[in-house]
Chains A and B, each alone.
Chain A
Amino acid sequence: MQRLISRPEFGPLVLLIVELVVFQSINSQFLSVLNISNTLAFSVELGLVALGMTLLMTSGEFDLSVGSVFGLSPVIMWSLFNSGALPLEAAFVAGLLIAALIGFVNGWFVIRLKIPSFLVTLGMLLIARGTALFITDGFPQRTWDASGQWLAKTLVGDFYVGPFRIYMSLFWFILAAVILGYVLTQTKFGNWVQASGGNPNAAQARGVNVGRTKIILFVLSAVLSAFAGIISSIRTSAANPNSGTGYELEVIAMVVIGGTALTGGRGTIIGTVIGIFILRIMRNGIVMVGVPGLAYNIFIGAIILGMMALHSGLERRHQSGN
């Protein structure tokens, strides 16, 4: 029991359960089939971005350009497809490759030029968003032309399991969470990710290629953001160049609330999954219980501060060996 309580995921899990109980007790429709289906559909798109960010933050870096890549990649994909330049599949790959290139450039600047990731990805945030707006003149790209295509069905097709409407994106999210959770906790690459964030000098001295590890994670973070953006664009039938604005901070909040250390060295995919649902359920729940939606940020800020205080206390106990 003591071991369970000391895990970084325990606090967020308790908060999630409290949230569910409070919202359900105030509004009995909160755990309705329709609301659960809708919450799942929205949550997993941001969740994919948060999963990539978890590994990157565990390695001691973070990426502020994820929201812009979330907007840019679908814009590029659909611009190429709608203009007839590329078939849908090739345009999809092009969207992901552009994201991979952005991730690589982020990583290269951080590692080779030793510029803090805050500054590099802030610059990239503006470049990617500006490119999306420039390409489209600020107008959304239509995506409904692809609604019958296999790729669109594979990415976001929906079906019913009993009364629940399930989107395919949920399976992509679960798949990504399982794979990344496995990588982080079970593989040598995961060990390098944690070491790169915890003590990069020690990792380097042991022969771990810290730079390459971090560049891979920057690429992963950008590609997952692009993938999530493309899924979102198909679901909403539009690739909006402003899509994903502000997501970077919400994603970072999800990751740290889940128990990943902002300073690197410790990360948890399970915690991030819990963090994703804490924030998305909060957003959904406060509206359903009648709190003005504009008050959302007050609750999020309070949760972040509360969780940080909890994690800080656990960390001190951890360091003192209790």
Chain B
Amino acid sequence: MAEELVLMDNVSRYYGRVRALDGVTFRVFKNEIVGLLGDNGAGKSTLIKVLSGAVRATGGDIYIRGEKVDMRSTADAIANGIETIYQDSALVTQLSIARNLFLGREPIKGPGFFSKMDQAKMEEVATALLKRVGISKNIPVTTPIGSLSGGERQAVAIARAMHFHSDLIILDEPTNNLGVAETQGVLRFVRNARDTGHSCIFIAHNIHHVFEVVDRIVVMRQGKVVADDIDPKKTTVRHVEEVITGMSESELRSAVAH
């Protein structure tokens, strides 16, 4: 049995009287990619926000590497080795690749609040990182993020998580609005992250993308985990769709027909 990295134990979250998470228990093991699936409003986003420190749980406990943690802010999550990559809000488009990679953790020369950034070091590390993450094109690290494609942006965000030794990388809809080749690139970056010792939570509406890359599928419905150990190699997309919607195959066909 692989070592447990994250355990969210009986976690709940209420928005007023709305129960977005209802006693959820969710695990991530070391060196695995977990696909988190569910329909709109199933509770995926809330689960991720709780784990990434963006919102606080109303009840339940979170354990990282077996130790109970109080996740009060995104800074707490980062300190605990959890990096969340939202598709549109992970990077600053006006800043260069190198500056984005080190944003908030810039290497500095000399003391003081207005310390000079060590730009040579930033660029050297950034260049090596882009190679490591698998970007094949020769992109200068001084290029602004705004000039990169969607897939390249995901690669930069993943590279950042890898560089800062995040044990868990949460990818929220990383393949949204990407073309076929770009999507394959991002899936390759994700596998690369796992193969170099990182765990990932992969959230996507496109089940086929999830099947291509994850080791285990967790399904949520109406704020609860309804399946947490689906092996994508031993099941079909149709079956997972049934679990997501809670409908049988015939009900699904009928719903699609209408």
Report which of A183, A191, A199, A207 forms a contact with B99, defined as CB distance below 8 A: A191
User: With A186-B117, A187-B115, A188-B108 in contact, is A207–B95 under 8 Å at CB?
Assistant: no
User: With A198-B95, A318-B147, A321-B147 in contact, is A207–B116 under 8 Å at CB?
Assistant: no
What is the 8 Å Cβ interface bit string for chain A, positions 190-202, against chain B (1 contact, 0 not)?
0110110111011
Closest CB-CB distance, B224 to chain A, in whole Å? Answer: 28
Complex CA–CA separation, A206 to B95 (angstroms): 14
Complex CA–CA separation, A261 to B146 (angstroms): 15
Report which of B89, B94, B103 forms a contact with A208, defined as CB distance below 8 A: B103
Within A120-179, the residues touching B (CB, 8 Å) are none
Report whether A202 and B115 are in contact in the complex, using a CB–CB cutoff of 8 Å.
no
Report whether B95 and A194 are in contact in the complex, using a CB–CB cutoff of 8 Å.
yes
A261 nearest CB neighbor, chain B only: B94
Using a Cβ–Cβ cut-off of 8 Å, how many residues does chain A contribute to the interface with B?
27
**Cβ of B91 < 8 Å from any Cβ of A?**
yes
What is the 8 Å Cβ interface bit string for chain A, positions 248-272, against chain B (1 contact, 0 not)?
0000000000000100011000000
Provide the residues of chain B in CB contact with A191, threshold 8 Å: 95, 99, 102-103, 106, 117
Complex CA–CA separation, A207 to B78 (angstroms): 8
User: With A183-B114, A187-B114 in contact, is A207–B104 under 8 Å at CB?
Assistant: yes
Report whether B146 and A203 are in contact in the complex, using a CB–CB cutoff of 8 Å.
no
Report whether A319 and B105 are in contact in the complex, using a CB–CB cutoff of 8 Å.
no
**Cβ of A113 < 8 Å from any Cβ of B?**
no
Knowing that A191-B117, A208-B104 are A-B contacts, what are 6 other residue pairs whose CB atoms are under 8 Å apart, sorted by A's residue number?
A187-B116, A199-B89, A199-B92, A203-B103, A206-B103, A266-B94
Question: Which 6 pairs, one residue from A and one from B, show the smallest C-beta to C-beta distance?
Answer: A206-B104, A321-B147, A265-B94, A198-B92, A188-B106, A207-B104
Complex CA–CA separation, A265 to B75 (angstroms): 22
Complex CA–CA separation, A198 to B84 (angstroms): 19
What is the 8 Å Cβ interface bit string for chain A, positions 300-322, against chain B (1 contact, 0 not)?
00000000000000000011110
Provide the residues of chain B in CB contact with A187, threshold 8 Å: 114-117
Complex CA–CA separation, A197 to B94 (angstroms): 9
**Cβ of A4 < 8 Å from any Cβ of B?**
no
Complex CA–CA separation, A301 to B148 (angstroms): 35
**Cβ of B90 < 8 Å from any Cβ of A?**
yes
Report whether A201 and B105 are in contact in the complex, using a CB–CB cutoff of 8 Å.
no
User: With A186-B116, A194-B92, A207-B74 in contact, is A202–B147 under 8 Å at CB?
Assistant: no
**Cβ of B23 < 8 Å from any Cβ of A?**
no
Report whether B93 and A198 are in contact in the complex, using a CB–CB cutoff of 8 Å.
yes
**Cβ of A204 < 8 Å from any Cβ of B?**
yes
Provide the residues of chain A in CB contact with B94, threshold 8 Å: 194, 197-198, 261, 265-266
User: With A188-B108, A198-B95 in contact, is A205–B114 under 8 Å at CB?
Assistant: no
Within B33-75, the residues touching A (CB, 8 Å) are 74-75
A188, A194, A197, A199 interface centre (most CB from chain B within 10 Å): A188
